Chains A and B, each alone.
Chain A
Amino acid sequence: NAGVTQTPKFRILKIGQSMTLQCTQDMNHNYMYWYRQDPGMGLKLIYYSVGAGITDKGEVPNGYNVSRSTTEDFPLRLELAAPSQTSVYFCASSPRGVAGIYNEQFFGPGTRLTVL
């Protein structure tokens, strides 16, 4: 199993450009997440999805959009890139939880994005 894969690994964007960060998981997990990590900071949740067709905002959603048309894929869209979006982006997935049971998240290797 490949686990969680992310493409591209690196990208440089100019201000105002748009791009889509791809994320795919092959573990048949219901839950998927997008985080960003800024230097010296922890990971902050951008968006999450609990299943195909269902997405919701996390802590820092502004400037991003997501969609979840299949269980496997959870792309993150940046419409108008800004320097403040320079960061490392991580996608993660986990099995569906039930009350009182927590399932760990599995992370992809990340995409390093620079906006100039």
Chain B
Amino acid sequence: DQQVKQNSPSLSVQEGRISILNCDYTNSMFDYFLWYKKYPAEGPTFLISISSIKDKNEDGRFTVFLNKSAKHLSLHIVPSQPGDSAVYFCAASHAGGTSYGKLTFGQGTILTVHP
């Protein structure tokens, strides 16, 4: 039972254009969502997050949108740069104290930004 899904295994965009990565979830208990970025031979690093009380969070070139009714979130990268080429993981959690910060991850999307 895949509670967090990233249905696009890969995405290829031109430098300077927008990259849009999508994520769907099924568990209504999730109330906090994160995006992690992973380069080869490294561990994932935190990129941006959003609480379910918001529908948008922005940090520089990165914006995450949350549509709770559709159980869908997306990560927008504008403008895309070659250094953004990596695997992007969507993750979800319940922010309550008893969840102990456990994360449920999607399968990941490989983003390639061409110069």
Contacts and interface: CB of A to CB of B under 8 A. Distances in A.
Contact of B32 (A35, A102, A109): A102
B4 A42 contact: yes
B49 interface: yes
Give chain A's interface residue range (CB within 8 Å of chain B): 20 to 34
Contacts of B93: 102
B25 interface: no
Contacts of B99: 97
B115 to A, nearest CB: 26
A42 B96 contact: no
Contacts, number: 75
Interface stretch (A14-22, A44-52, A79-87): A44-52
Contacts of B45: 107
A104 to B, nearest CB: 4
B44 A43 contact: yes
Contacts of A45: 102-104
Given A104-B49, A109-B43, 4 more contacts: A42-B89, A42-B105, A107-B36, A110-B43
Interface of A: 4, 31, 33, 35, 40-45, 48, 50, 56, 58, 90, 92, 94, 97-110
